[in-house]
Amino acid sequence: MTQDITTNKLQTSPIIWDSVYDALPDFLKACTCHFSDERERDVVLTSCLSVLSVILSDAAGTYSNERVGPNLFTMIVAPAASGKGVMKYAQYLGAAIHNEMVKENKLLKKKFEDDMLVWRSQVKQNKDEVKPSPDKPRY
């Protein structure tokens, strides 16, 4: 009985209109066009919007004299085997940026470690004239 109610709610809950998908930017259309199931398509779009809100975290505007940003948090709640798993595809929107940040952070860490070696060597040689240690980057 409970399963029937859950299934009925899932099948009759609203979906995102086709007109919304028609108005999407091309790259979001490309993300959602691979899904013929309306529920899965909605999950992918919602997940993509959440990923994009992280990517655009420095973007901001003013609304009612308050600074607002695009930060969105998404929780997809549905029964098992109802198509939630497709949200994993949204991560690919941020993959290139994430990989670039990891690469940049590795370079920053290496530079910091090299600078620390030089600084420690200078401290040992010139104990009277100790310069401040290099600033540790946020990586």
What are 66-123's pLDDT values in tens digits? Answer: 999 988 899 988 888 888 899 999 999 889 888 998 999 999 999 999 999 999 998 8
Helix (H) or strand (E) holding 43: helix 38-55
Domain span at residue 36? 2-91
**Res 130: pLDDT:** 77
CA distances from 122 to 64, 113, 133, 136 (A): 55, 14, 10, 18
- 60-70: pLDDT as tens digits: 999 999 999 98
In a domain, 24, yes or no: yes
Domain membership of residue 129 (yes or no) is: no
Q: Could you give the number of structural domains in the chain?
A: 1
- Mean pLDDT, range 48-57, rounded to an integer: 91
43 is a domain residue: yes
- Does pLDDT of 1 surpass 60? no
Please report the pLDDT score of residue 7 as a whole number: 64
- CB 107 within 8 Å of CB 98: no
* pLDDT-derived band at 126, boundaries 50, 70, 90: confident
**Could you give the CA distance from residue 49 to residue 72 in angstroms, rounded to a whole number?**
7
pTM: 0.69
Instruction: Give Cα 35 to chain centroid, integer Å.
Output: 21
In a domain, 131, yes or no: no
**Alpha carbon separation from 128 to 15, 110, 131 (Å, rounded):** 71, 28, 9
Does residue 132 lie in a domain region?
Answer: no
CA distances from 32 to 13, 44, 90, 115 (A): 19, 6, 10, 47
Could you tell me if residue 78 is inside a domain?
A: yes
Q: Which of 42, 47, 71 is nearest to 59 (CA)?
A: 71
